[in-house]
A and B are shown apart, each in its own frame.
Chain A
Amino acid sequence: MAEQTKKSFLEKAAESQVWKSIFRGGGVPRNRRQRMMSVLNSVFLHLHPVRLPKHAVKLKFTWCMGGLSFFIFLILTISGILLMFYYRPTIEYAYTDIIDLAEQVPFGIMRELHRWGAHAMVITVWLHMFRVFMTGSYKPPREFNWTVGVILLLLTLMLSFTGYLLPWDQLAIWAITVGSNMARAAPFLGHEGPGASLLAIGDINFITMASDARFALIGGRFMGEAALLRFYVLHCIGLPFIIMIFMSIHFWRVRKDGGISTPV
């Protein structure tokens, strides 16, 4: 009896049927075995190994930048979904929906969270790459995971870029105009790119203003409705879908390549 009264509320709750059914094994992890099981038995935590070299858990070593990139990605997903409730990707509504968001939604900071989060993610991904380089962690056997990382970097930038257009204000369309005008000059694939005129039969050019890389990107010859829709679909569905696949590969490979790199 005396022992029973010592149990905290948390410990009692942890022995209930409900708790045990949710957290496999149940109980509050106290001893070594329980702590190990709590990692193994959780779908989220078992991304991690059970035990790690001691430097791998130090902030000084990993800077936690990979983890933060992923965390910010989650914040962006959640705030992005909330934004989608209010935002319609048409020239008629896009701008006013954004204005409404600021004026009508009480305590609305979702747009801020989403925008500043996006900037922050670009920075954390860069710093993560920098840390991986400085610790030489790209060397065999991790060379392929570094490559996957570079793809993640590209996808992060593209997500940010496609999102930039959506408010449909002056800042947005001119930034994207500057960016997408580059596609016009793509070698072979842009109508003002070197070599494009070689892709022709007689007088018929295959690569014209209405069929080149820029046209494919913005869905027309000018920035307009089609560009907005394309960027919206890529931003909300296409790119997140692809980046999630590559993130899965990335995390899986961190484990398979032997965990966080260590000195030999």
Chain B
Amino acid sequence: MDSFKEIVNYISNPTILFTTVVLVFPFIFPPSDWFEKWHRRLGLHHLWGTKFIVIAMLGMVAFFMYGLGDYNFQKIVLKPDNVPISGLIFLVAFFTWLAMNQAYKNDERLNAGEKPNEYFEAPNDKVLVWPDLVYVELISLIIASAFLLVWSIGLPAPIEEPANPTESPNPAKAPWYFLGLQEMLVYFDPWMAGVVIPSLILVGLMAIPYIDRNPENSGFFSYNRRRLAISVFMFGWLVLWLMLIIVGTFLRGPNWNIFGPFEYWDIHKLEALTNINVSEIIYIKWLNKGLPDSIIIREIWGISILLGYFLILPPLLAKTFLKDMYARLGSVRYSVFIVLILIAITLPIKMYLRWMFNLKYIIAIPEYFFNF
């Protein structure tokens, strides 16, 4: 059994975990015909069948039960403020399944030329709010209250030592719903991870209905006819949002090092941290001379890379891969969309640059606190 724990610890390392998830993801939520073909061939559509969710839930329960027998796992999972995140894992798994299950059923109906399950014939198919809705609401309220009461009686709210501004805990963690942002601090400076990216997440969310605005296929669960939109959203929400929170909560230990769920939180665990900037790679490693004095000359490479990424890549894509999309969205919507997507993609890009080349900043101008 110890080897099982070791395997879990090993694959919990973000390099492996994240790579696996990124590779598997488009086959689970196929964004295009090609992936759709393989999705079917690999039998992944069975994920949204009834059998699978039962197996998955049982498997997850079994894993947690088994894990709770382990001291290190128990310590991190049973920390009172982490309990909701375990709940979140189950809830998100269940509701993703519930949405996709209904979506696939509707897809089949639509393909067969039928109306979606939610379709109704006005006005005959309308029901009265009293009693049909008020009862559903009442029952939901009672279940929710009971659930909260049991939770509150069973699990005391945490209270630690009185605040002491001079003695910082190791690790010092933000509240769990912000741990995805804190996780980004590993790869970005605070002005990006803490200010610009959160703002752009909000702007990006708000922009969704102004970019994907075809009122068709709304009002019912469906996948196939909206697959690109859903695939992109799911990647942002499941991988960049929830998975980073789970990594930040369960896997980050002292000195913000990665620890597997069954690993002892060793304060002395050392990780080589000699990260370098693009300018250092170019001037010191390749050209074998010192960094130039002028900031502009020093950073011109990083600046060019970023300018290319944000100014040349979008029109290039508009002419090639995303031609159809450009025609559909028009220039303003396309620009907003592509810039938001490109910024979102800088996160995985910076993760891999860090893991592969120990790259710290593409542009590093600490003189003006401008590091990217």
Decide yes or no whether B99 CB sits under 8 A from chain A. Answer: yes
Q: With A51-B128, A71-B144 known to touch, is A63 a contact of B98 (CB < 8 Å)?
A: yes
Please name the 5 residue pairs, one residue from A and one from B, whose CB atoms are nearest each other, closest first: A182-B194, A143-B209, A136-B218, A112-B152, A185-B190
A185: contacting residue among B152, B189, B219, B221, CB under 8 A: B189
15 new A-B contacts at CB < 8 Å, known A111-B157, A116-B84, A119-B81: A38-B130, A48-B133, A53-B120, A53-B122, A68-B141, A75-B145, A95-B163, A119-B84, A139-B209, A140-B215, A187-B195, A195-B368, A197-B369, A262-B120, A262-B219
Cβ-defined contact, B118 with A112, below 8 A: no
- Residue on A nearest B194 in the bound complex, by CB: A182
Residues A123 and B118 in contact, CB atoms below 8 Å apart: no
Q: Tell me which residues across on chain A come within 8 A of B119, comparing CB atoms.
A: 262-263
Q: Do the beta carbons of A35 and B131 come within 8 Å of each other?
A: yes
Residues from chain A with a CB closer than 8 A to the CB of B165 are 173, 222-224
What bracket does the count of chain A residues touching chain B fall in?
A: 35 or more
Interface size on B, residues (CB 8 A): 96
Cβ-defined contact, B163 with A173, below 8 A = yes
Task: Kindly list chain B residues whose C-beta atoms are within 8 Å of the C-beta of A54.
Answer: 120, 125-127, 132
Residues A115 and B157 in contact, CB atoms below 8 Å apart: yes
Q: Report B65-107 residues with CB < 8 Å from chain A CB.
A: 81, 84, 87-88, 91-92, 95-96, 98-99, 102-103
CB of B41 within 8 Å of the partner chain: no
Are A136 and B226 in contact, CB atoms less than 8 angstroms apart? Answer: yes
CB atoms of A130 and B95 under 8 A apart: yes
**Contacting pair A45 B134 (CB below 8 A):** yes
Cβ contact within 8 Å between B194 and A147? no
B155 at interface (Cβ–Cβ under 8 A)?
A: yes
Among candidates A112, A169, A184, residue contacting B151 with C-beta atoms closer than 8 Å: A112
Do B209 and A187 touch across chains, with their CB atoms under 8 A apart? no
Is B333 an interface residue when CB atoms closer than 8 A count as contact? no
Question: A residues near B, CB below 8 A?
Answer: 29, 32, 35-36, 38-39, 45, 48-61, 63-64, 67-68, 71-72, 75, 91, 95, 98-99, 102, 109, 111-117, 119-120, 122-123, 127, 130-131, 133-143, 146-147, 150, 153-154, 157, 160-161, 164, 167-175, 177-179, 181-187, 190, 192-197, 222-224, 260-264
> Is the beta-carbon distance between A194 and B368 smaller than 8 angstroms?
yes
Check B190 against A182 for contact (C-beta < 8 Å).
yes
B219 to A263, Cβ gap below 8 A? yes
Contact A39 B129 (CB under 8 A): yes
- Chain A, Cβ-Cβ closest to B154: A112
Q: Which of B130, B140, B194, B226 contacts A64 (CB 8 A)?
A: B140
Q: Is the CB of B140 within 8 A of A131?
A: no
Partner of A194, one of B168, B191, B202: B191
User: CB of B35 within 8 A of chain A?
Assistant: no
